[in-house]
């Protein structure tokens, strides 16, 4: 069963500022159209790649879900990546919806998955992808008329409040500079940008919205679990369907751990993600 899928590597979904943006697409070998999960790799907004989710892609494709794992522009000490990476990922959603028939995918059944910085971008894209300031950034984009609406979001140890993450880093990771590279400025020089780039800021009442599954370990040393708790509380108060999974003994980075090892946190998580997708995606 685990080999019952097709994979296409280095599929270009956009080219922004001369940089080719590519993803890996896993598809079930059975006839579609198939629901699709866009996977956004974490890595402090400065590293990662589509191959990170190769095990997830193969496993889910063998069980009826297409997975498009993507690259996006990264931050560095010399180059911020906000809002460029957000716009890259919006283009990925628009690409999947625009090419759905050709790729045997279901354009109305698109969901998002991300870990850490990828969880941040997935949640932000789901909540703010239709915001007018972001939609008008690339007016020449041939996909700009396509909606970025998605069915559900799975965030694994995501960052949902950048000001809270800044405080956490100052206390526990003062030499990391992860957020400074992403935003390009210190919180106390530009608090507004930290607000605008936080998913928490967009958890407001609306006519409809995606369902959320928020996953966090209770021993995470990189992103404090309280962010998932605060974000879920805001989502629930705003009327979103949201669930949380707190994994006892789990830290950060477990999303790519071997699934078949005894006590594997990823192994425990995978069937629960699939059940959530089948119910909500």
Q: Which pLDDT tens digit goes with each residue over 232-272? A: 999 999 999 999 999 999 999 999 999 999 999 999 999 99
Q: Lowest mean pLDDT: which of 53-57, 117-121, 175-179?
A: 175-179
What's the rounded Cα separation, in Å, for the pair 130 and 132?
Answer: 6
- Whether omega for the bond prior to residue 140 falls within 30 degrees of 0, making it cis, is no
What's the rounded Cα separation, in Å, for the pair 180 and 186?
Answer: 6
For domain 5-280, the CATH architecture is: 3-Layer(aba) Sandwich (3.40)
> What local confidence, expressed as pLDDT, does residue 144 receive?
47
pTM: 0.93
> What local confidence, expressed as pLDDT, does residue 237 receive?
97
- List the one residue out of 73, 25, 18, 77 whose CA is nearest residue 47: 73
Q: Which pLDDT tens digit goes with each residue over 32-75? A: 999 999 999 999 999 999 999 999 999 999 999 999 999 999 99
Is the CB of residue 24 less than 8 Å from the CB of residue 11?
A: yes
- Residue 208 pLDDT class (50, 70, 90 cuts): confident
| Ranges of each domain in the chain | 5-280
- Residue 177 pLDDT class (50, 70, 90 cuts): confident
Is the CB of residue 155 less than 8 Å from the CB of residue 122?
A: yes
- List the one residue out of 213, 159, 166, 207 whose CA is nearest residue 186: 166
> What local confidence, expressed as pLDDT, does residue 147 receive?
76
Owner of token pair 């405080």: 167
Cα–chain center distance at 8: 20
Cα separation of the two ends of the chain: 22
- Residue 135 pLDDT class (50, 70, 90 cuts): low
Is the CB of residue 234 less than 8 Å from the CB of residue 222?
A: no
Mean pLDDT to the nearest integer, 127-149: 61
> What local confidence, expressed as pLDDT, does residue 134 receive?
57
pLDDT exceeds 90 at position 116 = yes
> What local confidence, expressed as pLDDT, does residue 140 receive?
46
- Residue 176 pLDDT class (50, 70, 90 cuts): confident
Q: What angle do CA 265, 75, 51 make, to 5 degrees?
A: 45
Distances (CA, A) of 180 to 57, 81, 118, 175, 189: 32, 10, 17, 11, 11
Q: Which two structure tokens, joined as six digits, stand for 64?
A: 């009826």
Average pLDDT score over the chain:
92
């Amino acid at each position: 069963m685990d080999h019952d899928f097709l994979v296409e590597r280095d599929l270009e979904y956009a080219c922004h500022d001369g940089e080719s943006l590519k993803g890996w697409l896993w598809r079930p070998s059975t006839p579609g159209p198939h629901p699709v999960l866009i996977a956004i790799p974490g890595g402090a907004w400065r590293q990662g790649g589509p191959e990170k989710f190769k095990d997830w892609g193969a496993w889910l494709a063998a069980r009826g879900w297409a997975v498009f794992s993507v690259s996006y522009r990264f931050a560095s000490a010399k180059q911020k990546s906000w809002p460029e990476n957000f716009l890259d990922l919006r283009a990925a959603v628009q690409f999947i919806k625009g090419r759905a028939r050709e790729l045997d995918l279901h354009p109305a059944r698109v969901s998002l998955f991300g870990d850490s910085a990828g969880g941040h971008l997935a949640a932000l894209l789901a909540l703010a992808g239709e915001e007018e300031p972001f939609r008008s950034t690339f007016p020449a984009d041939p996909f700009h008329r396509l909606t970025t609406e998605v069915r559900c979001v799975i965030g694994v140890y995501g960052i949902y409040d950048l000001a809270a993450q800044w405080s956490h880093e100052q206390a526990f990771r003062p030499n990391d500079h992860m957020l400074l590279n992403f935003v390009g400025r210190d919180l106390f020089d530009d608090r507004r940008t930290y607000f605008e780039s936080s998913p928490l800021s967009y958890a407001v009442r609306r006519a409809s919205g995606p369902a959320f599954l928020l996953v966090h370990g209770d021993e995470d040393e990189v992103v404090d679990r309280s962010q998932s708790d605060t974000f879920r509380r805001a989502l629930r108060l705003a009327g979103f369907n949201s669930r949380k999974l707190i994994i006892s003994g789990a830290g950060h980075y477990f999303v790519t751990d071997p699934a078949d090892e005894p006590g594997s946190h990823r192994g425990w998580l995978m069937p629960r993600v699939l059940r959530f997708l089948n119910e909500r995606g």
